[in-house]
Amino acid sequence: MTEQIPIETLHPTIRMLSDEQIEAIHHASLDILSGTGIVMKNEVGRELLVDAGAWESEGRIKIPPHLVMDAIASASPRIPMFNRLGELTMPLEAGKVFFGPGSDCPFTIDVETGQRRKATAEDVRRIAHLCDSLAQIDFVMSMGSPSDVPPLDHYLHSFISMIRGSVKPNVYTANNREDMEDIYRIACAVAGGEDELREKPFMLHYAEPISPLLYNDESVDKLLFCAEKGIPVTYPPSPNTGGGGPITLAGALALGNAESLVGLALTQLVRPGTPFLYGMNTAALDMKSAIVSYGSPEWPLGMAACADLARYYDLPVWGTAGAADSKVVDAQAGIEAAISMMSAFLTRCNLVHDVGYIEYGTTSSMEMLVVADEIIREVRYIMGGVEISERTLAREAIHRAKPGGGFLADDHTLDNWKWAQWRPELIDRMRYDRWVEKGRKDMATRANERARQILAEHQVPPLPEAAEEVIAEVLKEREDSAKRTT
Amino acid sequence: MVIGLPSDHLRKGRTMDTKAHVLEQIASNLYKGEDDVVATLVHQALDQGMAPAKILNGGLIAGMDEVGKDFKAGDLFVPEVLIAARAMHAGMDILRPLLAEGEVPSAGKYLIGTVQGDLHDIGKNLVKMMLEGAGFETIDLGTDVKPDAFVAAVREHQPQLIGMSALLTTTMTGMKATIEGLEEAGLRDTVKIMVGGAPLTAAFAEQIGADAYAPDAATAVDVARNLMGV
Ligand code: B12
């Protein structure tokens, strides 16, 4: 018999915007840029835009559509990201979804004591260490601002702690160009040189403009640094509905899109082809508590719309999921994380950050990361769709089965059970008595135990010696210059 | 909560029986953000011969106080407070030219800004709006305010209160530097200092020598009033 072509499995996706809606947002964004204009506080950024055809009027820089369209055309549709061992583990490209934590929380929940306390450099390393072991976590971010180092060295120490704690690619933040330079030096030492780093980038920088339409000096300077060096970069604005953005999501998307495209244009003007990750953060400013809500449905809704826009531009896209407004790892946190991560997967957002945030991004939680790892596994299973094939249709097993008798002991079950069903690791399905016997542990307790076990057992390859030497050098220089200024 | 009579009662054109009544009406319509009705009622009260200061205190400010209380209790949303504030302005616009010098009451003069290196201002702006609603006169220095600029502004405006906002652990230190700057300039004792922002704690405020910390805008108003001894 001729071997038949298998039936393709549909992997579910969602689209949030129709072609017509995408075009309408695109046009509104172009109108914002050419009609309203931006405020650019960085001199080099201003010159780049004006030289490329933007003009100044009424204290704003107005940007014509062709400048934006040229940038979209010269940007790369994919960003291959490597781990620090030089392996391609995170190709940010159409159809792929990667998850990881967020940056810079002032507080953390101590995994030993359960107390909310200020984060330290060691916390950053330990969280990276945990993420290194979690199979569904693809990259690391700092998750904390180390309170035990001088404030202006926060980002430098975070970077060092991340690369010590994990081999996975990282997304890093920085204060200013000085940080960028020091981090770059260390990164080159890790990769083995500037060319090696450019060929196999293991780090992506995250800076942001200020919605609405303000491009502050430092953030643009950091963006331009990335373009100069070829470091992959994301520059997502935060048009939070009712805060940095209009209360309506459409307006927030039009604004955020305009703002993100300016970031793209700046990088492409410095160096066409600079790896740029498009995106925006569209959380809601909660009108009772006045927090920027990380668990709000507006965020996944906006992320899905943003992913549609990215596809229209053929750009890789940044997103947010797995974060919570809840102060503890409870049912609320689970709902917030599950809904956003499911949305992220369905919309095929390429790089999804903030996994493991609680308290609207103020506090990090290792338990939350472990729970999220389980949610991602489960969501991924659903994304697998339903395979329709001879082996899954189980014709013979159905034919064989004794009416009313079931399939438990059938060969088809015994041969296929391992892959045909999803199995939980952290989610509990024990029968009641056994659950009592095992100590009546809820999900957060089990996640805590798992996190501590990983920290005790998981091994991470150390940094190359050359890198540790450069780190020591950089830290020494910082110390010396601090002494000079005091 | 609802105070006074519903506004459609007024729209139907019923006349006020007593002077006290019209003040209640102003307060209740202000609470509901009915700016046009508040303006009409303020005119009505003036026509009845009521003193502008009395309308202000017994109507507008009384209404705004209720709003503040209910916001603090979590019964109102931020836009409801801002809509009420809009109604307050509608009344104030009529009264301001009529009030004698010194009659415009101020709960206190409040200088506010986000510290050096920090560009977060959504929270600072909200604190400012709530203080204004509570009758404080505010001076906003914006974001990225250097210690010197705070000191200079204190010298110039002579506020009773200063509020500093910081959302970053890297910029929190600017608060201490500002307090030291004020000490050096001999101005520390002329002001009460409040601080706020996501990475801050009450302990931090104490440690840097600030007078108070507030975790949110509604609390900030109460704390400011306490510091003013109201
Ligand atoms: C919106 C936001 C932004 C916007 C700011 C827009 C704007 N115009 O303000 C943008 C996107 C520009 C931004 C930029 C950055 N941000 Co930001 N941002 C936030 C976010 C999500 C919400 C803040 C907010 O507006 N909340 C809503 C308002 C209403 O609440 P609030 O600010 O807390 O204010 C209330 C109280 O704190 C208090 N209060 C505030 N000020 C004052 C002052 C006084 C006197 C009193 C009494 C009370 C008081 O009352 C307010 C009203 O209730 C927080 C997350 C968080 N958990 O807070 C991060 C956060 C503050 N940002 C953070 C970071 C790291 C940054 C960046 C450095 C990122 C980067 N790498 O580029 C830049 C810094 C830019 C700069 N130089 O300032 C970190 C800070 C971490 C840390 N350890 O310091 C946070 C915690 C997020 C995170 N986990 O990473 N950010």
What was the ipTM of the complex prediction? Answer: 0.87
Is the pLDDT higher at A481 or at A377?
Answer: A377
In this complex, is the C-beta atom of A475 within 8 Å of any C-beta atom belonging to chain B? no
Mutation site, A214, A221, A288, interface B, largest B CB count within 10 A: A288
In this complex, is the C-beta atom of A154 within 8 Å of any C-beta atom belonging to chain B? yes
CA distance B113 to chain A (A): 17
Evaluate: CB of B220 within 6 angstroms of ligand 1.
yes
In this complex, is the C-beta atom of A216 within 8 Å of any C-beta atom belonging to chain B? yes
Nearest CA in chain B to A244: B122
User: What is the rounded distance in angstroms from the CA atom of residue A287 to the CA atom of residue A293?
Assistant: 10
Q: A475 C-alpha to center of ligand 1: Å?
A: 28
Which pLDDT value is given to residue A148? 96
In this complex, is the C-beta atom of A358 within 8 Å of any C-beta atom belonging to chain B? no
Residues B88 and B113 in one domain: no
Residues B191 and B164 in one domain: yes
In-domain check, residue B3: no
CB contact under 8 A, B79 and A362: no
In-domain check, residue B66: yes
- B218 CA: nearest ligand 1 atom: 53
Q: What is the DSSP letter of B76?
A: S
CATH number at residue B212: 3.40.50.280
In this complex, is the C-beta atom of B202 within 8 Å of any C-beta atom belonging to chain A? no
Domain that holds residue B211: 106-230
Alpha-helix residue ranges (DSSP H) falling in chain B: 7-11, 19-31, 35-47, 52-55, 62-72, 78-95, 122-133, 147-157, 173-184, 202-207, 217-227
Nearest CA in chain B to A176: B117
Residue ranges of A 263-292 with Cβ closer than 8 A to chain B = 285, 287-290, 292
Closest CA to A99 of A382, A338, A361, A264: A338
Instruction: Provide the domain count of chain B.
Output: 2
pTM of the model: 0.93
Which pLDDT value is given to residue B5? 43
Which pLDDT value is given to residue B11? 42
Which pLDDT value is given to residue B3? 45
CB contact under 8 A, A216 and B119: yes
Residues B53 and B151 in one domain: no
Which of B104, B138, B155 is where one domain is finished? B104
Q: A119 C-alpha to center of ligand 1: Å?
A: 17
Which pLDDT value is given to residue B6? 43
CB contact under 8 A, B170 and A145: yes
Evaluate: CB of A106 within 6 angstroms of ligand 1.
yes
3-state secondary structure of B110: strand
pLDDT at A331 over 60: yes
* Mean pLDDT along residues A178-202: 97
Which pLDDT value is given to residue B20? 63
Residues B132 and B225 in one domain: yes
Span A219-234, pLDDT tens digits: 999 999 999 999 999 9
In-domain check, residue B55: yes
Residues B197 and B215 in one domain: yes
Choose among A151, A210, A289: nearest Cβ to B169: A151
CATH number at residue B93: 1.10.1240.10
Q: B18 C-alpha to center of ligand 1: Å?
A: 49
Compute, in degrees rounded to 10, the torsion defined by CA atoms A359, A161, A210, A38: -160
Which of B104, B122, B148 is where one domain is finished? B104
Which of the residue ranges A86-90, A103-107, A480-484, B217-221 would you say has the lowest mean pLDDT?
A480-484
Cβ-count burial B104-117 (b if 16+ within 10 Å, e if not):
eeebbbbbbbbbbb
Evaluate: CB of B119 within 6 angstroms of ligand 1.
yes
In this complex, is the C-beta atom of B73 within 8 Å of any C-beta atom belonging to chain A? no
In this complex, is the C-beta atom of B125 within 8 Å of any C-beta atom belonging to chain A? no
Which pLDDT value is given to residue B107? 85
* Mean pLDDT along residues A280-299: 94
In-domain check, residue B4: no
In-domain check, residue B210: yes
Domains in chain A, please, with CATH?
73-383 (3.20.20.480)
In-domain check, residue B110: yes
Nearest CA in chain A to B204: A118
Half-sphere exposure of A319 (CA within 13 A, CB side): 36
Read off the tokens for A163. 């690369």
CA distance A243 to chain B (A): 7
Backbone angles phi, psi at A409, to 5 degrees: -100, 5
Mean pLDDT of each 10-residue bin along chain B, 230 residues long: 43 50 95 95 95 92 92 93 93 90 81 95 94 91 96 97 95 94 96 95 94 94 90
Residues B97 and B179 in one domain: no
Residues B86 and B136 in one domain: no
A337 within 8 A of A368, measured Cβ to Cβ = yes
Residues B97 and B134 in one domain: no
When pLDDT is cut at 50, 70 and 90, the band that residue A447 belongs to is: very high
Which pLDDT value is given to residue A305? 98
Which pLDDT value is given to residue A486? 64
Name every residue whose Cβ is closer than 8 Å to that of residue A129 and which is 6 or more positions away in sequence.
A165, A166, A454, A455, A458, A460
Residues B95 and B117 in one domain: no
Residues B148 and B78 in one domain: no
B-chain CB neighbours of A362 within 8 Å are: 198-199
Name every residue whose Cβ is closer than 8 Å to that of residue A190 and which is 6 or more positions away in sequence.
A84, A163, A197, A202, A463, A464, A467
In this complex, is the C-beta atom of A152 within 8 Å of any C-beta atom belonging to chain B? yes
In-domain check, residue B7: no
CA distance B72 to chain A (A): 10
Residues B95 and B129 in one domain: no
* Mean pLDDT along residues A370-387: 97
Residues B18 and B95 in one domain: yes
SS3 of chain A: CCCCCCCCCCCCCCCCCCHHHHHHHHHHHHHHHHHHCEEECCHHHHHHHHHCCCEEECCEEECCHHHHHHHHHHCCCCEEEECCCCCEEEEECCCCCEECCCCCCCEEECCCCCCEEECCHHHHHHHHHHHHHCCCCCCECCCCCCCCCCHHHHHHHHHHHHHHHCCCCEEECCCCHHHHHHHHHHHHHHHCCHHHHHHCCCEEEECCCECCCEECHHHHHHHHHHHHHCCCEECCCCCCECCCECCCHHHHHHHHHHHHHHHHHHHHHHCCCCCEEECCCCCEECCCCCCEECCCCHHHHHHHHHHHHHHHHCCCEEEECCCCCCCCCCHHHHHHHHHHHHHHHHHCCCEEECCCEEHHHCEECHHHHHHHHHHHHHHHHHHCCCCCCHHHHCHHHHHHCCCCCCCCCCHHHHHHHHHHCCCCCCCCCCCHHHHHHCCCCCHHHHHHHHHHHHHHHCCCCCCCHHHHHHHHHHHHHHHHHHHHHC
B-chain CB neighbours of A147 within 8 Å are: 169
B47 within 8 A of B79, measured Cβ to Cβ = no
Which of B79, B104, B129 is where one domain is finished? B104
A-chain CB neighbours of B123 within 8 Å are: 290
In-domain check, residue B50: yes
